Amino acid sequence: MTTYHAALAWVDGVVRQDVTLRCHGDRLSAVDADTQAPPDAQQLAGLVLPGIANAHSHAFHRALRARTHEGAGDFFGWRQRMYAVAGALDPDLYRELAVAVYAEMALAGVTAVGEFHYLHHNLDGRPYDDPNIMGHALASAAAEAGVRLTLLDTCYLRGGFDADLEGPQRRFGDGTPDAWAARASALTDHATLRNGTAIHSVRAVPASAMPTVHALAQQRGAPLHVHASEQPAENSACLHATGRTPTGVLADAGVLGPGTTVVHATHVTDDDVAALGTTGTGVCLCPTTERDLADGIGPASALARAGSRLCVGSDSHAVIDLFEEARAVELDERLATHQRGHHRPEALLEALTTSGQAELGWDVGLRTGALADFVAIDLSSPRTAGATAGTAAASAVFAASACDVTDVVVGGRPLVRGGHHATIDVPARLSGALAAVEEALG
Amino acid sequence: MTTYHAALAWVDGVVRQDVTLRCHGDRLSAVDADTQAPPDAQQLAGLVLPGIANAHSHAFHRALRARTHEGAGDFFGWRQRMYAVAGALDPDLYRELAVAVYAEMALAGVTAVGEFHYLHHNLDGRPYDDPNIMGHALASAAAEAGVRLTLLDTCYLRGGFDADLEGPQRRFGDGTPDAWAARASALTDHATLRNGTAIHSVRAVPASAMPTVHALAQQRGAPLHVHASEQPAENSACLHATGRTPTGVLADAGVLGPGTTVVHATHVTDDDVAALGTTGTGVCLCPTTERDLADGIGPASALARAGSRLCVGSDSHAVIDLFEEARAVELDERLATHQRGHHRPEALLEALTTSGQAELGWDVGLRTGALADFVAIDLSSPRTAGATAGTAAASAVFAASACDVTDVVVGGRPLVRGGHHATIDVPARLSGALAAVEEALG
């Protein structure tokens, strides 16, 4: 049984002082504020938050960071490199890159990642001898990096409403929804791995196939994630092909609901917002990627008001700094509306932590019985210095950076201490993996 | 004579390898690429850039960071606290806060700051015995923090087109343009201090007073900065009062030109863009403040195409991370236009460094004869790992953070080494100063 004592901790939506956190196995057995540090307790300075959830990741996009802005960087160049990397990874290299990326996330305070995984098959599109070898590579990578993984095994069946899979896309496809389900069903959970599901998009999955994905998610009680309305072109293609918005298609197919998370929801109509909110569908915002890809700014506060639980993801990993994602939910909406004050800092902290964890199927929070996953943020860095108990929550959201994470605990055990990963030299691992990707690209 | 040797350095707009930088006094006496490190050279790993310019600062706003989001934070709450802090600072406290804030900037790679300074007079509006005591406090603070200061002594004469100065604003006013000029003329330059000028805004300075400010700037060969078109309300008040846009008023008053920098230029018309560009007027963008204050997104690429030199500032210091400012110039324009690729990474690096320095009146760049001001960025942090000579420029702009600055050299002498300030415990100084501000606020 490990015990921690936090100077400040975010408990039940407020910052409390002198909080003792007792762990039993991988869960919290007691959380008590206004306590003296027990003699055996490990001290955590700064502000302790529940573990950060990175609810939307494409690990392999880390190989695109700072490499898609040549000239000034158009969308075509980005997409070309994305497919080139997607076409170059074998299971070993995919694993190696993912270890490094998940370890980078750990340093940034992420204790659980939702990997939207569709690099299923061989470079030529044929299944590997082990048809889940790529998923296993990710699971093994997350285990080595020490973070929980929700493997959102993604159904991807066509290149467009009226187009077959082409080139590297052939790796993504299982052919039929049943073949997808047969493969995805073979994956098994363990303490730090949840097998969830995903529909890539209304473009890549016909409406007729969606109930198959939904059924597997329901059967498992596992999350279902789906990209929707990231860019206007996607909306018009969908309207043209189906007469419905992407959200409308998902609603008709019966896949919305509290177990489902729509990713982006940038270009949604008022009816879409109502459909997502009234069904209790979660929404994952990825603001730094939405900036990088010129997607635009979605109606996050309207979605929250309508009833959607918000969470955040670093998606393409242009940067991995979930504090930047959380504040961008508010700040980008300010840019779009010319008004301040859409989201309380406490709501953004929930999106960053407990809500994101819930969308990934993990029960995390600083309370008895929850998983003992939490992070400490330095409140005496150049960015956060001067924070008090009263301003600590706002400082975490609006001032902190990934580099202010000092300690990360997963399942009661320290994963990051003093800003260093317990077992991995993260920069060295990243440079090794990225050099290997460049070599594979030729 | 100190000599440095950089693994990579940004010389004449390209990344060069193995660059020897020889300093003589406070200037560079030689810059040579593809050289072996001389035996006496100090090694700089990562990427060396010319010193970063923070071209727009209100030092006292640091006391607002993470303290204006209560509830969710409206503009009125922000303004109320801004005026409360402005009304609470005496010369000692202003100096103490500024030392800490300028030292925070040094850690972020800033070697020169443009302080848009208008807290001139006593709390009740009367001049201090030394009428420049507040400006001297800033000069002394910058000297202690080790960064160059361009003191943009700001003319501020009225509360609005039809309103007197009220409350804390009374500290800002000199009464008449001549009284402003008499006071501002008494300030003297030295090696790390330039005395520049500023017109607060078209709201706060009548057009008839602008030539006085411009004349002093011209006489000194010093910069003139001016806020313009930050928010739509400012535009409509100006149109209503004068029949002209803010840029139109500045053009009519004859104050545009290569020695002038317009700050924000967020809500400018096509005619404004042409007027700024054809006169060679510089533009300072402050994207993280423009996000925080819900200002909106300006037409940065149109301004650059028209002929304006761009630079960046952290303005209200919601965060002090000039890399975030530089990338936001591109990323926020992507959000507004739904297109990637407005600014080349090299152009953003210029805005961050040499262009910003020029707008503050400093001759900085990695070339013989320029001031020996430069910074080293870690290319093996979790954020930048995997960068190569070919991707280093884009990594600096699109992936690096303030916390990736390892070394800062000002005038040939090390100010920051290994991420630590040579003489100041920055977080301790910040918390002390911020606590003192809270106490002064009562």
The better pLDDT of the pair A102, B74 is held by A102
Are the Cβ atoms of B385 and A427 closer than 8 angstroms?
Answer: yes
Measured CA to CA, the distance from residue B410 to residue B274 in angstroms comes to: 36
> Active-site positions of A?
264, 315
Cβ of residue B296 closer than 8 Å to a chain A Cβ: yes
Q: Check if B315 is active-site.
A: yes
CA of B18 to nearest chain A CA: how many angstroms apart?
A: 20
Are the Cβ atoms of A74 and B340 closer than 8 angstroms?
Answer: yes
Are the Cβ atoms of A72 and B344 closer than 8 angstroms?
Answer: yes
Are the Cβ atoms of B107 and A342 closer than 8 angstroms?
Answer: no
| Mean pLDDT of the residues in chain B | 97
- Among residues A378, A377, A371, which one has the least CA distance to residue A357? A371
pLDDT at residue B165 is higher than 80:
yes
Closest residue, chain A, to B106 (C-alpha)? A382
Q: Check if B270 is active-site.
A: no
- Among residues B318, B52, B74, which one has the least CA distance to residue A323? B318
pLDDT in the model for residue B72: 65
pLDDT in the model for residue A70: 78
Interface mutation vs chain A, best among B147, B231, B338, B420, most A CBs within 10 Å: B338
Residue of B272, B315, B378, B404 marked active site: B315
pLDDT in the model for residue B16: 98
Cβ of residue B43 closer than 8 Å to a chain A Cβ: no
Q: What is the DSSP letter of B176?
A: S
HEC assignment per residue over A377-433:
ECCCCCCCCCCCCCCHHHHHHHCCCHHHEEEEEECCEEEEECCEECCCCHHHHHHHH
Query: pLDDT (tens digit, 9 = 90+) per residue, A367-426?
Result: 999 999 999 999 999 999 999 999 999 999 999 999 999 999 999 999 999 999 999 999
pLDDT at residue B74 is higher than 90:
no
Instruction: Find out whether A312 and A55 touch, Cβ atoms under 8 Å.
Output: yes
Instruction: Find out whether B194 and B151 touch, Cβ atoms under 8 Å.
Output: yes
Query: pLDDT (tens digit, 9 = 90+) per residue, B318-359?
Result: 999 999 999 999 999 999 999 999 999 999 999 999 999 999
User: Average pLDDT in the B30-56 region?
Assistant: 97
pLDDT in the model for residue B1: 75
Cβ of residue B78 closer than 8 Å to a chain A Cβ: yes
pLDDT in the model for residue B204: 98
The whole model's pTM is what? 0.97
Measured CA to CA, the distance from residue B290 to residue B122 in angstroms comes to: 30
Cβ of residue B104 closer than 8 Å to a chain A Cβ: yes
Cβ of residue B377 closer than 8 Å to a chain A Cβ: no
User: Average pLDDT in the B379-408 region?
Assistant: 97
pLDDT in the model for residue B70: 78
The SS3 call for residue A309 is coil
Cβ of residue A325 closer than 8 Å to a chain B Cβ: no
pLDDT in the model for residue A38: 96
Cβ of residue B108 closer than 8 Å to a chain A Cβ: yes
In the stretch 334-373 of chain B, residues with CB closer than 8 A to chain A read 334-345
Q: What is the DSSP letter of B148?
A: E
Q: Is B239 left (phi over 0), alpha (psi -120 to 50) or beta?
A: alpha
Are the Cβ atoms of B66 and A387 closer than 8 angstroms?
Answer: yes
The complex's ipTM works out to: 0.97
Interface mutation vs chain A, best among B82, B288, B314, B334, most A CBs within 10 Å: B334
442 residues of chain A, pLDDT tens digit each: 799 999 999 999 999 999 999 999 999 999 999 999 999 999 999 999 999 999 999 999 999 999 988 776 678 788 889 999 999 999 999 999 999 999 999 999 999 999 999 999 998 899 999 999 999 999 999 999 999 999 999 999 999 999 999 999 999 999 999 999 999 999 999 999 999 999 999 999 999 999 999 999 999 999 999 999 999 999 999 999 999 999 999 999 999 999 999 999 999 999 999 999 999 999 999 999 999 999 999 999 999 999 999 999 999 999 999 999 999 999 999 999 999 999 999 999 999 999 999 999 999 999 999 999 999 999 999 999 999 999 999 999 999 999 999 999 999 999 999 999 999 999 999 999 999 999 999 8
